[in-house]
């Protein structure tokens, strides 16, 4: 395993192994292991602090939910079925809280030094929208009810890789709950398989089931089919213990902690359209990880999301970008497959997935190390740029905070509109609908059902 790893700060390889941790002698930094999984973030202690913060946040929210459900159960007007449903859900919430705490014990340690500043300086912050539970539902598909979907996924890889292909050393980037990485390793010709993700919950669950454990965890379907389907206790297990040669790594795909040209195959399942980095940059990084004649195999959606329309790539542009970054013209296969169709949910998708395989033909210019934040945030010394979006956000925030300050339990929307007019912020006629729609949003937010 050590032969694949490199320092995510300076790219030095090999690292020094000792006591289950890895050390970069050039940076004088240790990368700890989390239940045996190397924790390869550029500032490991700060990343640990961030994920611990996310865990604490998730645990607090579950406690808050349980207390709220307890309060609901105190209502005299509940119908018997509603009471039964809420009682079950409260128990599930509490059990889920305990399970999370247990599973994530390896992450829930005090970080040794508070190094948030260095973390910022290295610009390796985790995306704010990646919570602990962002892909939690995937663990149930991967290790409980998802046979059909899991088979269809592997089938897509076979469709572009050829059935009996020798995949060599394989890196799966953004492996999530890691069933596809497991199936590849067990059913295709892989020498070693490395499954990497930045979410410790997903990898700790994957590691436990692949070692042969059965985990009992609740699934919380978004559109329950029946009364008892809003929290379903599932047994998660792997078909068999994973064979030797399978490894997990915790790290960031935009700072991949691997030695250059280490892999014969890099696989990106459902990843290229969700990372914040532009596809061309990701393609060049993947090129750098591959040996000459190695292969990039992609599978999943093409649903790019970015404020710049130029970055919402079509299949044609995606192929062109891959080829521009040192790869052969990608061989593409498209198929419509079921996606997250839990048997306990009325909700599920069918998705036309876009799979390709492309050979590395030449080295691509390697992009600079990923920087999550601009200098004016990191150093605090440069002027904060007055962009047009900051300008309009400032104006809106000012008006919203003024509206909030007018809530005193006595004023009506009409009274508030009069105040806004007096302050010369807008006319009464403009103010009334503006306040109404703002308060509607605030009201909706307050009603939103929290959930895992």
Ligand X SMILES: C[S@@+](CC[C@H](N)C(=O)[O-])C[C@H]1O[C@@H](n2cnc3c(N)ncnc32)[C@H](O)[C@@H]1O
Q: How far apart are CA 74 and CA 86, in angstroms?
A: 11
Work out the angle between the directed axes of helices 413-422 and 428-447 (0-180°, nearest 10).
Answer: 130
Least distance (Å) between residue 208 CB and ligand X = 16
Under rule CB under 6 A, residue 198 binds ligand X:
yes
Q: Binding residue for ligand X (CB under 6 A) from 149, 219, 252, 264?
A: 252
In angstroms, give the least distance from the CB of 274 to ligand X: 6
Q: Is 270 in the site for ligand X (CB under 6 A)?
A: yes
Distances in whole angstroms, Cα of residue 225 to Cα of each of 12, 63, 311: 52, 26, 38
Among 11, 149, 197, 219, binds ligand X (CB under 6 A): 197
Chain center to CA of 64: 24
**Which residues sit opposite 235 in a β-bridge?**
216
For the beta carbon of residue 370, count every other beta carbon within 10 angstroms.
21
> Which ranges of 188-227 does DSSP label H, i.e. alpha helix?
200-210
* Among 162-170, 249-257, 258-266, 427-435, the segment contacting ligand X (CB under 6 A): 249-257
With a CB cutoff of 8 Å and minimum separation 6, the contacts of 221 are 137, 229, 230, 232, 342, 344, 345, 347
Residue 202 touches ligand X, criterion: CB under 6 A: yes
Per-residue binding letters, 58-97, with ligand X (x by CB under 6 A): ----------------------------------------
Asked if 176 touches ligand X (CB under 6 A), the answer is: yes
Closer residue to ligand X (CB): 201 or 403? 201
- List helix spans (H) across 108-216: 116-121, 137-140, 147-161, 179-187, 200-210
CB of 181 vs ligand X, minimal distance in Å: 8
Residue with the closest Cβ to ligand X? Answer: 176
Asked whether 196 and 249 are in contact (CB, 8 A), the reply is yes
Q: Tell me the closest approach of the beta carbon of residue 400 to ligand X, in angstroms.
A: 31
Number of shown-chain residues binding ligand X (CB under 6 A): 18
Residues 312-351 that bind ligand X (CB under 6 A): none
Tokens of 92: 């599930």
CB of 149 to ligand X, least distance (A): 9
In the complex, the smallest distance separating the C-beta of residue 88 from ligand X, rounded to whole angstroms, is 28
Minimum distance from residue 389 beta carbon to ligand X (Å): 24
Residue range at the interface with ligand X (CB under 6 A); choices 49-57, 143-151, 192-200, 353-361: 192-200
Among 238, 254, 282, 435, binds ligand X (CB under 6 A): 254
Q: Is 144 in the site for ligand X (CB under 6 A)?
A: no
| DSSP per residue, 54-115 | HHHHHHHHHHHHHHHHHHHHT-TT--HHHHHHHHHHHHHHHHHHHHHHHHTTTT-S--SS--
Tell me how far apart the alpha carbons of residues 373 and 121 are, in angstroms, rounded to a whole number.
9
By CB under 6 A, which span of 87-95, 270-278, 353-361, 383-391 interacts with ligand X? 270-278
Q: Are the beta carbons of 7 and 1 closer than 8 angstroms?
A: no
Q: Does 32 bind ligand X (CB under 6 A)?
A: no
Residues 272-291 that bind ligand X (CB under 6 A): 274-275
Q: Which residues bind ligand X (CB under 6 A)?
A: 135, 138, 174-176, 180, 197-199, 202, 252-254, 269-271, 274-275
């Amino acid at each position: 395993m050590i032969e694949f790893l490199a320092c995510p700060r300076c790219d030095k390889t090999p690292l020094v192994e000792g006591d289950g941790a890895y050390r970069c002698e050039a940076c004088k930094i240790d990368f700890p292991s989390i239940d045996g999984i190397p924790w390869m973030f550029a500032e490991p202690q700060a990343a640990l602090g961030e994920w611990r913060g996310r865990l604490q946040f998730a645990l607090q929210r579950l406690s808050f939910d349980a207390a709220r459900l307890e309060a609901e159960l105190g209502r005299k007007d509940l119908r018997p079925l509603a009471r039964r449903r809420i009682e079950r859900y409260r128990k599930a919430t509490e059990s889920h809280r305990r399970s999370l705490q247990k599973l994530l014990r390896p992450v829930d340690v005090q970080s040794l030094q508070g190094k948030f500043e260095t973390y910022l300086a290295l610009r390796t912050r985790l995306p704010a929208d990646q919570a602990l539970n962002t892909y939690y539902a995937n663990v149930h598909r991967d290790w409980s009810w998802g046979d059909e979907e899991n088979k269809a996924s592997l089938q897509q890889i076979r469709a572009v890789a050829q059935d009996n292909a020798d995949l060599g050393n394989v890196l799966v980037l953004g492996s999530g709950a890691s069933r596809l990485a497991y199936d590849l390793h067990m059913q295709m010709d892989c020498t070693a398989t490395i499954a990497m993700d930045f979410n410790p919950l997903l990898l700790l669950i994957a590691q436990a089931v692949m070692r042969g454990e059965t985990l009992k965890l609740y699934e919380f379907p978004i559109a329950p089919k029946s009364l008892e389907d809003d929290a379903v206790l599932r047994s998660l297990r792997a078909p068999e213990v994973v064979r030797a040669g399978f490894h997990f790594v915790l790290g960031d795909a935009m700072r991949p902690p691997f030695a250059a040209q280490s892999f014969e195959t890099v696989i990106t399942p459902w990843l290229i359209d969700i990372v914040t980095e532009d596809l061309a940059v990701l393609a060049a990084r993947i090129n750098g990880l591959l040996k000459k004649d190695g292969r990039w195999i992609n599978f999943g959606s093409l649903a790019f999301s970015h404020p710049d329309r130029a970055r919402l790539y079509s299949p044609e542009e995606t192929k062109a970008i891959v080829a521009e970054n040192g790869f052969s013209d990608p061989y593409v296969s498209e198929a419509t497959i079921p996606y997250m169709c839990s048997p306990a949910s009325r909700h599920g998708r069918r998705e036309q997935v876009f799979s390709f395989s492309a050979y590395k033909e030449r080295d691509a210019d390697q992009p600079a190390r990923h920087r999550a934040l601009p200098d004016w945030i990191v150093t605090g010394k440069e002027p904060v740029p007055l962009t047009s979006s900051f300008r309009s956000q400032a104006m809106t925030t000012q008006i919203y905070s003024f509206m909030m300050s007018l809530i005193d339990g006595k004023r009506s929307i009409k009274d508030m509109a009069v105040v806004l007019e007096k302050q010369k912020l807008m006319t009464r006629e403009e103010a009334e609908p503006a306040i109404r729609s703002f308060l509607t949003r605030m009201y909706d937010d307050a009603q939103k059902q929290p959930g895992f």
